[in-house]
Amino acid sequence: MMRLHKLYHRCSLVSTFSTSSSSTLCSSSSLSPPFLSLLNHNSYSTSIHTSGFLKSSNNLKKKNSLKSINMMNKSNSIKFHSVIVSATNEDGKGTSNNGSVPSSSSSVLEDDEISSLGGGYRLPPPELKDIVDAPPLPALSFSPQRDKILFLKRRALPPLTDLARPEEKLAGMRIDAKCNTRSRMSFYTGIGIHQLFQDGTLGPEKEVHGFPDGAKLNFVSWSHDGRHLSFSIRFDEEDNNSSKLRVWVADVETGKAKPLFQSPDIYLNAVFDNYVWVDDSTVLVCTIPLSRGDPPKKPLVPSGPKIQSNEQKNVVQLRTFQDLLKDEYDEDLFEYYATSQLVLASLDGSVKTFGPPAVYTSLDPSPDQKYLLLSSIHRPYSFIVPCGRFPKKVDVWTTDGKFIRELCDLPLAEDIPIAFNSVRKGMRSINWRADKPSTLYWVETQDGGDAKVEVSPRDIVYTQPADPVDSQQLEVLHQLDLRYGGISWCDESLALVYESWYKTRRTKTWVIAPGNKDVSPRILFDRSSEDVYSDPGSPMLRRTPAGTYIIAKVKKENDPGIYVLLNGSGATPEGNIPFLDLFDINTATKERIWQSNKEKYFESVVALMSDQNEGDLYIDQLKVLTSKESKTENTQYYLQSWPDKKVCQITNFPHPYPQLASLQKEMIRYQRKDGVQLTATLYLPPGYDPSKDGPLPCLVWSYPGEFKSKDAAGQVRGSPNEFAGIGPTSALLWLARRFAILSGPTIPIIGEGDEEANDRYVEQLVGSAEAAVEEVIRRGVAHPNKIAVGGHSYGAFMTANLLAHAPHLFCCGIARSGAYNRTLTPFGFQNEDRTLWEATSTYVEMSPFMSANKIKKPILLIHGEEDNNPGTLTMQSDRFFNALKGHGALCRLVVLPFESHGYAARESIMHVLWETDRWLQKFCVNTSDVVADLDVKDSEINKAVPASGGGGAEQDDIELEGLQITPRSSLWFTCV
């Protein structure tokens, strides 16, 4: 198990899980319970670094002739491939190339012709390139005993050749057939082990060794006793194909690693789950069946037509899923790659097959290490939904290979309603109780899974032993009228149950006594999930000897009270001020025992570090891991101990981009015309003085959000003291090009009561944008004629709408990986759960595709050619571009080969930066040169109307339609 925490730095979207960089994530943050468990289901050590958007500005050079510029472009294109190869070494250094943009003050048409003739990938100016190419910081992982730290080392951005590897698009997933894993996995290049002493100092690094040079490491995991590490290894072979994965194990004391399996023919199957520690010396591994043979061959001639039927007149409404199975051959291919043979392997070398081959999706040992919960999917498969809705079987086995019972066999779920909070019928969320040796719990819907059905109770939570004596041992643990949202376990006297309802944003936390039916459940918190000011925080968890996590009870000397630790973000009108409260669970009274320094720093509690010993935890023995950062100081980690609250610094990471170390950051507040309070983060270049330097070109980068109340929409989120994390596509890069950056201006789309927010989408979008632009102009930091707007995914949708409906605000726009025609997503999008036929006018009015004739300002469209995000098909940008071109709009479409929703390859990212910088230089920095060509009246350009945004810090989002993930250029850090 592990906890995740962010350490800011710049890097690309990567995950050390077996998921691809674009794999579907779940559960919107708005649906999270107030007590978020901070646990990950398995003990993988994970690093995720997310992409942001960077910018830099060079003064445009004097006019060059068309011929000479064209020759320069061709020269750059010819040299590019050698530049990229040398620039992808592990040290992150690149071949020297000034990366400057050949440009001129010539006409727009002439410059467009020049750029189209050059071809090839481009490098941005060095101000941008150098930041993106800086070596990444390592990921960190603590041992279960909190006495050691792993430094997991990584390379810089991957080359395009990594993304160009063939992949199979099957059942909503993308599979690397050569490796038999999810495609496009990131990897570690090495593992360093440091001893963590009581005073917070680190011992010398001990390198894990024994594996060949050049190995790519994944799925790093601690054994329960912390004496061993497991990880997978793969290599790049001579033909540029990567080998299949093998499991290795390292002794933590010596650092010596060796293969888990003596046989060289046993490979890891990491399409779904991969392996899990069953006990201190045994690992259950999903392996490729030895008898599998060659993959099925696609028939030259199909056996018949592709037929789908609904002769039963079922109502099946589905979002716009991608990469689905298409025919019987795809079904066979999916089953071929996804089928695993489970193998029990001991550190002494013994190996035993476990159960039959199947498409296993999860492996979960019971806390007492006696049972295994195995989930698998099976036929009949579907051509209209991804694998998560395929028939699902859940079985209980003993860890020595004896089948106990089948918990459920759920049918194919093609008919889950699109309304939010709709779920699958039957048993779901099946898990082990963290506080019991081998007790299962799960939830079952009482409304048929349809959120539109009114029923009480709506969900029932059940519990039962793994191997019950008889079926009567099934017990009702709790009944809920909203949708079940999870449980935090403690013991027989205490557990917290969460429920929530998206439409009303209501969330409840219940206190129950699982072992005492005489104690009635009671509500601990009942609040709006949008009201961040009222968030009481989440309970801190302690690790049990079995490796599970439970609520940490804290005692005071000579005090019989039952206390828990609530770790909160501390949202206030002045920004987030994280806190740690000692909370009496019986009286609901609290005592603040720690709070962030709100004057200069942003600090937060990351993990409990005094939980390695059994027995009661007293407040005077408390030790926590904290993080600390400021506007100009990157995140470092500290140990803080009670009772004297002594602080010891653990890490001393260098600044990831010292050239921007003195950037200026301010959280600003302003008001929309309808009275809604808005916020944004304003970044200014190092050394900038508005009184001396005058107004700057400005880039507004944002992402709209939906709310049920004006008060909640106006609340401040984020902290003015947080470090400015800059990812490889972050808008903040353009601080190096002397731009002002308005990051994440809130663009709340509000639907109070029974009103649907999107019915007034355009009106509220424009109103928010006007307020933002007016504010940066009023402050004198932004030139009224030089304000550009941009966004990714739903932010790209926003950008196109603003250029269509508020052309007086912005000089140009950058729209990346967006969806522009909502009739192509007819069964809902983002947070809209009405269909096209239920809200036709809303779908049409919200679609910038329908207003393509109104867009007169320059718009740059960028899209990954292999976008697999629901709703944002690459076709969206292609058709939008054709619509714009058909009306004579000044537009440009850049489609990135092999890239999906977020961009990963160094070549792609560098080219995105080049395209964006070129666009901003032409139409923002030198906007006066093209005013005549744009046929925009001076009176419109000079209107002091602002731009909008969507949330706290940087809003360069990688979003899975309906789920926004806000990249903060962060390094995730695990506590096992």
Can you read off the two tokens belonging to residue 251? 């002794």
Within a 10 A sphere around the Cβ of 448, how many other Cβ atoms? 13
Contact 789/803 with Cβ under 8 angstroms? yes
The DSSP output letter for 268 is B
Q: Is 248 helix (H, G, I), strand (E, B) or coil?
A: strand
C-alpha 927: how far from chain center: 35
Angle between helix 761-778 and helix 794-805 axes, rounded to 10 deg: 80
d(CA 768, CA 760): 12
Q: Which residue has the tokens 């079995």?
A: 546
Among candidate residues 38, 54, 56, the one with its CA nearest the CA of residue 46: 38
Can you read off the two tokens belonging to residue 937? 């009246």
**Pairing state of beta strands 139-142 and 970-975?**
parallel
Can you read off the two tokens belonging to residue 567? 């770790």
The DSSP output letter for 644 is T
d(CA 604, CA 968): 16
Q: Which residue has the tokens 């933590």?
A: 252
Q: Which residue has the tokens 């550009």?
A: 788
Amino acid identity of residue 489, one-letter, is: W
Q: Which residue has the tokens 């329960």?
A: 224
Residues near 254 by Cβ (< 8 Å), separated by ≥ 6?
none
Contact 625/634 with Cβ under 8 angstroms? no
Give helix then strand counts, H and E, for the chain.
Answer: 14, 53
d(CA 141, CA 187): 15
Can you read off the two tokens belonging to residue 570? 């501390």
Nearest 10 degrees: CA dihedral of 906, 908, 910, 913?
-140
d(CA 44, CA 155): 19
Alpha carbon distance, N-terminus to C-terminus of the chain: 5
Among candidate residues 756, 757, 733, the one with its CA nearest the CA of residue 747: 757
- The number of C-alpha atoms within 13 Å of 398 and in the hemisphere containing its C-beta is 6
Just list the catalytic residues: 793, 867, 901
Among candidate residues 623, 539, 478, 426, the one with its CA nearest the CA of residue 39: 539
Contact 200/609 with Cβ under 8 angstroms? no
Can you read off the two tokens belonging to residue 665? 């950051």
d(CA 384, CA 580): 47
**Between the CA of residue 296 and those of 103, 168, 266, 293, 336, what are the distances in Å?**
52, 13, 21, 9, 8
d(CA 233, CA 270): 12
Provide the β-strand partners of residue 175. Answer: 168, 182
Within a 10 A sphere around the Cβ of 814, how many other Cβ atoms? 29
Q: Which residue has the tokens 């194909």?
A: 241
Q: State phi, psi for 964 to the nearest 5 degrees.
A: -105, 130
Residue spans of alpha helices (H) in 183-247: none
d(CA 818, CA 846): 13
Can you read off the two tokens belonging to residue 736? 């190096």
**Pairing state of beta strands 427-432 and 403-410?**
unpaired
d(CA 178, CA 161): 14
